[in-house]
């Protein structure tokens, strides 16, 4: 991230392109992209322990519902999903609300922001059996990178969302990426 702004110009340009494409796409669900949070909301959330990096992202994009199996939560929804950070009996995963902040879901598995390192962690391959995973995989070095390199990258999103080639034309998020000029 740049010193001038907590969000990169690439993130801002990408979100602007997605919002423009969404406004022109009456066949794509309008709740696909969240709005933004204001400074007052961000300050209150930070005082409640929400990681600053996540709040910086929400100032640009307060969540994205990429499809039924991939979501990047907006602030309000994230706050409702923090129970995923609580330790689970017999799970080998190092779950802890002091160390993790749940920011989304992939295939019924939570996606976390590592409070210490800022990386995005998850067990997307495990799906609904995520609590039995042996370890977290690093999905990206930051929330911004996760969004730009995983969710906005056509082929990577297609892989995460388990969209097969026959269904590509029906996936709203992939339609939006193409219309925003973000797909090959």
CATH number of the domain that 38 lies in?
3.40.1580.10
Residue 20 pLDDT exceeds 90: yes
Residue 2 lies in a domain: no
Indicate the pTM of the whole model: 0.92
CA dihedral 71, 50, 12, 181 (to 10 degrees): -10
Computed over every residue of the chain, the mean pLDDT equals 92
Query: Residue 53 — pLDDT band, cuts 50, 70, 90?
Result: very high
Contacts for 5-13: CB closer than 8 Å, 24+ residues apart = 6/56, 6/59, 7/56, 7/57, 7/59, 7/60, 7/144, 8/144, 10/148, 11/57, 11/60, 11/61, 11/144, 11/147, 11/148, 12/60
Query: Does residue 3 sit within a domain?
Result: no
As a whole number of angstroms, the distance between CA 90 and CA 70 comes to 26
Q: How many domains does the chain have?
A: 1
Count helices and strands in the chain by DSSP H and E runs = 7, 6
Per-residue pLDDT of 79-113, as tens digits, reads 999 999 999 999 999 999 999 999 999 999 999 99
Say if 135 falls within a structural domain: yes
Kindly state whether residue 155 falls inside one of the protein's structural domains. Answer: yes
- Residue 23 lies inside a defined structural domain of this protein: yes
Whole-angstrom Cα distance, residue 163 to residue 170?
A: 9
Task: Assess if residue 184 is contained within a domain.
Answer: no
Give 131-165 pLDDT, tens digit per residue: 999 999 999 999 999 999 999 999 999 999 989 88
Identify the domain containing residue 60 by its residue range.
Answer: 9-179
- φ and ψ of 109, to 5 deg: -105, 135
pLDDT for 10: 93
34 inside domain: yes
Q: Could you tell me if residue 4 is inside a domain?
A: no
Residues whose CB is less than 8 angstroms from the CB of residue 67 and which lie 6 or more positions away in sequence, other chains included: 161, 163, 171, 172, 173
């Amino acid at each position: 991230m740049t010193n001038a702004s907590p969000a990169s110009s690439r993130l801002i340009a990408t979100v602007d392109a997605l919002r423009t494409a969404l406004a022109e796409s009456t066949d794509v669900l309008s709740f696909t992209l969240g709005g933004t949070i204001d400074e007052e909301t961000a300050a209150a959330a930070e005082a409640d322990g929400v990681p600053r990096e996540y709040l910086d992202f929400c100032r640009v994009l307060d969540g994205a519902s990429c499809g039924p199996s991939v979501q990047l939560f907006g602030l309000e929804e994230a706050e409702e999903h923090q129970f995923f950070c609580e330790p689970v009996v017999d799970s080998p995963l190092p779950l802890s609300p002091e160390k993790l902040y749940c920011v989304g879901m992939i295939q019924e598995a939570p996606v976390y922001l590592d409070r210490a390192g800022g990386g995005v962690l998850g067990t997307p391959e495990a799906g609904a059996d995520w609590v039995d995973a042996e370890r977290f995989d690093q999905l990206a070095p930051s929330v911004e990178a996760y969004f730009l390199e995983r969710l906005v990258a056509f082929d990577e999103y297609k892989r995460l969302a388990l969209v097969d080639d026959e269904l590509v034309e029906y996936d709203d998020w992939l339609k939006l990426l193409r219309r925003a000029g973000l797909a090959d």
